[in-house]
Amino acid sequence: MYDSIAVVGATGAVGTIILQLLEDRKFPYKKIKFIASKRSAGKEITFSGEKYTVEELKPEVFDGVRLAIASTPDDTARDFIPEAVKRECVVVDESGYWRMDPTVPLVIPEVNAEDIRKHKGIISSPNCSTTQMVVAMKALYDYSKIKRVVVSTYQATSGAGLAGSRDLIGGAKAHLEGKDYAYECFPYPIAFNLIPQIGSSKYKGYTSEEMKMVYETRKMLGDESIQICPTCVRVPVTNCHSESVLVETEKKITVEKARELFAAFPGIVVADDLEKKQYPMPVNCTGRDETFIGRIREDLSCENGLTFWCVSDNLRKGAATNAVQIAEWMQKNL
């Protein structure tokens, strides 16, 4: 058992949810500490009825800590995680820095939990847009190998952090009042608009966010042959990412079989009745830990194609929940 634990980035948007999940799920520990940047150090956090002082992120803060769940920027993860590992602390990392390191397992517990056993001090949690897609893909992949994926994402402003959410609210209010608004996060107005770029220009016109979906999917499914064509779009929605996903499988999967496979897979909820207007939407998926799937139908352009709509809370299953689930698996199995 990892009896001494820490949460790094405890005062951030994802860190706050991690604390809530640890408390709600009664995560086992004997000692716990909360760590953040120098700016947040000294603040008080109430956790399970007790008050704790947030400690500054320094190498020595990991002395005696056996397990840390961390949500920090990439450059912070690059610098502090090796120092934590030196001190025999295992880190579940939410950042993007270590995900494609061949020595670091990239894990969604419902998909490839056994990979956690290969860790050398670091376990990575994948990108939020990748997570929900791979959960859905795995349900089908176990029945028939997937050859190709075409995915378009509709990503909420909360995925860009607290500043992204401020931009949506402030920009929408200013727009309705006919006033100007100085956006702090997005290069263009996000209120009443779509921005078809998330991340930097990366490869052949694809962005860094889009290429994460390619590389991370192949790594977690252990299949470099899957062809993936992603388009990532920022939309004026506060929370929950939505995705339109088309998969081409080696063996035909009927709509009925797909519903059966999705419904039987852990962490998936099927809401799929077009006539009754039942399908997942951000408004009814926010605050939930599952991946929701609907609009399941055969691809009219491809014999073995299947398309569906997928929604998940990007701050929970796309980030905090997945990291906590990894830590829970470790407590039970290592």
pLDDT of amino acid 41:
96
Where in the chain are the domains? 4-125+319-333, 130-314
Locate 45 and state its tokens. 């956090």
* 119 carries an active-site annotation: no
pLDDT of amino acid 261:
98
* 175 carries an active-site annotation: no
Tens of pLDDT, residue by residue over 239-260, are 999 999 999 999 999 999 999 9
Question: Which residue has 């990007």 as its token pair?
Answer: 314
Say which of 89, 119, 128, 240 is annotated catalytic. 128
What is the percentage of the chain residues whose pLDDT exceeds 90?
Answer: 99
pLDDT > 90? residue 290: yes
Burial state string for 32-65 with b = 16 or more CB within 10 A and e = fewer than 16: bbbbbbeebbeeebeeeeeebebbebeeebbeeb
Separation between Cα atoms, residue 130 and residue 126, nearest integer Å = 7
Query: Which CATH superfamily is 4-125+319-333 part of?
Result: NAD(P)-binding Rossmann-like Domain (3.40.50.720)
Global pTM reads 0.96
Tens of pLDDT, residue by residue over 174-212, are 999 999 999 999 999 999 999 999 999 999 999 999 999
pLDDT > 80? residue 318: yes
pLDDT of amino acid 1:
74
pLDDT of amino acid 291:
98
Please give the full DSSP string across 100-169, using - where no structure is assigned.
Answer: T-TTS-B--HHHHGGGGGG-SSEEEPPPHHHHHHHHHHHHHHTTS-EEEEEEEEEE-GGGG-HHHHHHHH
Tens of pLDDT, residue by residue over 59-106, are 999 999 999 999 999 999 999 999 999 999 999 999 999 999 999 999
Is the CATH code 3.40.50.1820 the one for domain 130-314? no
DSSP 171: H
pLDDT of amino acid 215:
98
Give the Cα-Cα-Cα angle 184, 186, 189 (nearest 5 degrees).
100
Say which of 119, 241, 285, 310 is annotated catalytic. 241
Task: Return the H-helix or E-strand segment holding 292.
Answer: strand 291-298
